[in-house]
Amino acid sequence: MNKLLPQTADLLKDPLKTGDRSVLQELTSKKALEITQSLQTTLDPTRLIEIFSAEVGSLIVHHGVRYHNEDTGIDLKLGRQARHACSYNLNIGDEPLGSLTFRRNQKFSDAEFEALEQLLCSLLYPLRNGLLYEDAIQLAQKDPLTGICNRAALDEMLKRELSHAQRKDTSLSLLVLDIDHFKNINDRYGHITGDCALKCVANMVDACKRDGDLLFRYGGEEFVVLMRDTDLAGAHLLAERIRQYIAENSFDCSGATLSITASIGVSELKQNDDPTAMFTRADKALYRAKKNGRNQVCMAANN
């Protein structure tokens, strides 16, 4: 996302040119309080950086900002590139919070460096709280056993993807996969081996799906793959590839060599669909695959 950042710094023109540090310090302290209040409005790390950049821009001219956090995968770029840069590694104690870089065409003065450093103190704790909150949200949507997204994440993402596909008039498909005779694995080998089998299946499905496909553990031994820009024929091809890959590859779990199969039901988004209707059609197709002998893919009925 690119935004045009504030281009004026009228309040600091005279202090910066004359070197009147007392006036600059007074203006910076006032701005720090304003930033603290503004940052209380959100816990979204991206939004926090946007607000901070805008507030700082009313005091210190800059043409672009980049916030990078390798741990969270955030790489936010605002404004535009410019010749000169001023970069900071953000930390609270030994806790890294990422790096923040300001860019503009003119060099930053020593007075501006001092002001930026003081203003950054207003960002650190709100940013850490935002990162912790985002991390908690992500953990709440992860299945602790397999590491993939869980049912809560599926419910949210299915609504979002369905709404997007209907607005843009694009295709969307969904498959529901169930491990055949999974109860027998738990009964014969125990739940530790069963858990290992679930992780192995999740890895195999992940290896088969495309980069844009979304994988979820629905619950128990059921998995869901949500396929963007994919019609029923394309979804069928992926489902068959997954089914065949699982059937043809054995794996070792806690000393036991397991060979398993999976049944899969597939549905495609229809006009006026809602998430429940789309999922229900795939689920019914799955149970039809079970009833017909397992280790197969069944397509949802047209009605």
pLDDT score of 72: 87
- Number of Cβ within 10 Å of residue 61's Cβ equals 22
Which contacts qualify for 12-15: CB closer than 8 Å, 24 or more apart? Answer: 12/59, 12/60, 12/112, 12/115, 15/111
CA-based diameter of the chain, in Å? 85
pLDDT in tens, 152-163: 999 999 999 999
Cα four-point dihedral sign 125, 130, 133, 139: negative
Are 122 and 211 within one domain? Answer: no
| % of residues, the chain, pLDDT over 90 | 82
The full length of the chain comes to: 303
Residue 39 has pLDDT above 90, yes or no: yes
Which two tokens mark 197? 């089998």
Are 216 and 268 within one domain? Answer: yes
Query: CA-CA distance, 100 to 251, in Å (whole number)?
Result: 46
Are 117 and 163 within one domain? Answer: no
Q: Please tell me which residue, 303 or 21, carries the higher pLDDT value.
A: 21
pLDDT score of 5: 38
Are 117 and 166 within one domain? Answer: no
pLDDT in tens, 49-59: 999 999 999 99
Across 161-170, average pLDDT: 93
- Number of Cβ within 10 Å of residue 9's Cβ equals 17
Beta-strand relationship, 84-92 and 214-219: unpaired
Query: CA-CA distance, 41 to 32, in Å (whole number)?
Result: 15
Are 80 and 176 within one domain? Answer: no
Q: Please tell me which residue, 129 or 8, carries the higher pLDDT value.
A: 129
Asked whether residue 64 is domain-assigned, the answer is yes
pLDDT in tens, 207-266: 999 999 999 999 999 999 999 999 999 999 999 999 999 999 999 998 899 999 999 999
Number of helices (H) and strands (E), helices first, in the chain?
9, 11
Asked whether residue 146 is domain-assigned, the answer is no
Residue 20 has pLDDT above 60, yes or no: no
pLDDT score of 302: 67
Of 107, 139, 171, which marks where a domain is finished?
139
Pick the catalytic residue: 50, 55, 161, 221? 221
pLDDT score of 303: 52
Q: Are 246 and 204 in contact (CB under 8 A)?
A: yes
Q: Are 115 and 28 in contact (CB under 8 A)?
A: yes
pLDDT score of 2: 37
pLDDT score of 220: 94
Asked whether residue 253 is domain-assigned, the answer is yes
Are 126 and 16 within one domain? Answer: yes
Asked whether residue 3 is domain-assigned, the answer is no
Are 238 and 265 within one domain? Answer: yes
Segment holding 174, helix H or strand E: strand 172-179
The verdict on whether 112 is a catalytic residue reads no
Of 104, 139, 174, which marks where a domain is finished?
139
Q: What is the CATH number of the domain that holds 51?
A: 3.30.450.40
Asked whether residue 4 is domain-assigned, the answer is no
Asked whether residue 21 is domain-assigned, the answer is yes
| % of residues, the chain, pLDDT over 70 | 92
Closest CA to 203 of 258, 170, 245, 235: 245
Q: What is the CATH number of the domain that holds 213?
A: 3.30.70.270
Residues with Cβ < 8 Å from 212, sequence gap 6 or more?
227, 228, 229
Domain span including residue 17 = 10-139
Asked whether residue 144 is domain-assigned, the answer is no
Residue 205 has pLDDT above 50, yes or no: yes
Q: Are 275 and 159 in contact (CB under 8 A)?
A: yes
Of 82, 109, 139, which marks where a domain is finished?
139
Asked whether residue 268 is domain-assigned, the answer is yes
Query: CA-CA distance, 212 to 190, in Å (whole number)?
Result: 35
Q: How many domains does the chain have?
A: 2
Residue 10 has pLDDT above 80, yes or no: no
